[in-house]
Structure 1
């Protein structure tokens, strides 16, 4: 999740555990601890792909954070001994562990058990969702004004956690709808990724890898009996095979579970993470190799500038999520009536 949300969650947990004893200091300690795992962004691993895939690595591993919580709890108890060590340990443990658990619900992926296993990405909530963050922020501001009042913080934590449960329910509803469509097309075994569209849990996007094509489906909870609109995007198996032969291409395939698009442009082999953003506005595109006339040669990967997103995106998302427009075409970010499917 975004840094503001993680800091708000940490502050709310800190206040709920220790606010009666420490007042505002508990909120500040929780906020600082809540942002601590994300400080790995300052580490340079040498290449753009390495930085991208190492983020949310060791600093988000439960195998690292649990022992760290024990140590920090002891240090903080030395700083403020009037709060018992058990409560400090509860505070540090809750804040440090909930950070990666929350991140694992997003699409980016979190290496919860680094250095073991693959990243965990449940894909049930967008990285910025006001309906999750606001129940944390409102009581937090109140507690800053009235330190020591923990009930509003607990209520905010209950509401925000309930919202996380709702997103999982909504995801399952959409998954059932998508599964029926894929079964009808004979694609029930095709790799599929189902995730919420930006800033909402009412509108969802399914990305399906179907041979030499990628299918994109946008569907919402208010769609009723509206037929699903399916957009098709070409895949390039030859470029995918070339990328799979490169060390950084292999790393990207591992990190994204294969949800990549490959392109040849100006003698460069590009790989785009199609899980994040939207077609035409994916934020992570990397140069993996260059062709100087003697085949693809590995390059020190670098990231291309993020495409600009126009204001029409937010308008289109609202129209589609609210049910005002039945179809949203991802290729053009245009809304259309039901009788005008995307080309």
Structure 2
């Protein structure tokens, strides 16, 4: 999820745990602790573009670092905060916002290496866009309510915060339900139409959970559609050939590993080719503009460049998204 979503979630958790003890500092500590895992972005620049994709949400997002790091920070806070509060209090103030970050991120497409360094497997449920305005609205409304009721008794404000977190949890559950229902319906339609397929990938478009991208893979191509949940119809459809190259096998192997096999290859005819990750959704409907993550590979040197992720969040595309929703 984006940094703002993590910060708001951490602030609500921090308030629920410690507002009656350390006041507004509880929100600040929660917001900071919830963004600790993303410190890895400061180090990705020291890696080549392919390996950098594995560094992000790698060990920094592991359960091992969360537990050990939160214990160290709790000892530090206990020692230097000059308060009578226990180690357990400070540990929860760091641990739970940190845990919220890892928990939220596993619902995105990117994948989170929870079990590093013991396993490089990346957990991803592909059911939440990295930026979701509905989720941000719930979180922002909860924060505003906490400020509005700031003079109320702590137990009442704590209940408001917990209610906000329950709503967030239910929203995540709703998206999982939508994803499972959508994929089941797609499989039934493909089977009824006698269309062969090997795998299906689905994920919501940026900003909303009411339009989803569905990728249907067969032996040589991908059918990429955008499906409106309310309209119950396909609002965009594209057929993409997988493509293939017999050069630069080492970096290509790593890129394929990152994409989990959902990739296409485009040759530009000017000494480069592109490997495109199909798992990420964009507000764009037409390819190649709709590719969010692309790797540009030099055919001669095999040097890889990664283009900056583009999710197509522009005023025109947002207007088009509203048309697809309603």
TM category, shorter = 0.7 to 0.9
The one-character-per-residue Cα deviations of 1:200-249 (angstroms, maximum 9, x if unpaired) are 1122111122122210122232234x57975312221x32x546x22x22
Q: How does 1:135-284 map to 2 (within 5 A)?
A: 135-144=138-147, 146=150, 149-186=157-194, 190-224=198-232, 226=233, 230-236=237-243, 238-239=244-245, 242=247, 245-246=249-250, 248-265=251-268, 266-278=270-282, 279=287, 280-284=289-293
How many residues align structurally? Answer: 311
Report the CA distance shift for 1:127/1:46 in structure 2 as closer, same or farther (over 3 A).
same
Q: Secondary structure at the match of 2:122?
A: coil
Look up the match of 1:321. 325
Look up the match of 2:122. 119
- TM-score normalised to structure 1 length: 0.83
Instruction: Give the deviation of 1:308 after TM superposition.
Output: 8.4
Look up the match of 1:18. 18
Contact residue 228 and residue 235 of structure 2 kept, 8 A:
no
Look up the match of 2:50. 49
Contact residue 10 and residue 32 of structure 1 kept, 8 A:
yes
Look up the match of 2:37. 37
Question: Are positions 1:110 and 2:112 aligned together?
Answer: yes
Instruction: Give the deviation of 1:85 after TM superposition.
Output: 2.1
Instruction: Give the deviation of 1:10 after TM superposition.
Output: 0.9
CA distance in 1, matches of 2:179, 2:82: 43
Look up the match of 1:6. 6
CA distance in 1, matches of 2:281, 2:111: 14
Instruction: Give the deviation of 1:41 after TM superposition.
Output: 0.3
CA distance in 1, matches of 2:296, 2:78: 48
CA distance in 2, matches of 1:50, 1:184: 42
Look up the match of 1:96. 98
Contact residue 77 and residue 84 of structure 1 kept, 8 A:
yes
Report the CA distance shift for 1:37/1:118 in structure 2 as closer, same or farther (over 3 A).
same
Question: Are positions 1:86 and 2:99 aligned together?
Answer: no
Instruction: Give the deviation of 1:189 after TM superposition.
Output: 5.3
Report the CA distance shift for 1:229/1:40 in structure 2 as closer, same or farther (over 3 A).
closer
Q: CA RMSD in A?
A: 2.3
CA distance in 1, matches of 2:112, 2:174: 21
Report the CA distance shift for 1:37/1:307 in structure 2 as closer, same or farther (over 3 A).
closer
Give unpaired runs (5+ residues) of structure 2: none
Report the CA distance shift for 1:153/1:188 in structure 2 as closer, same or farther (over 3 A).
farther
CA distance in 2, matches of 1:227, 1:306: 25
Instruction: Give the deviation of 1:307 after TM superposition.
Output: 5.6
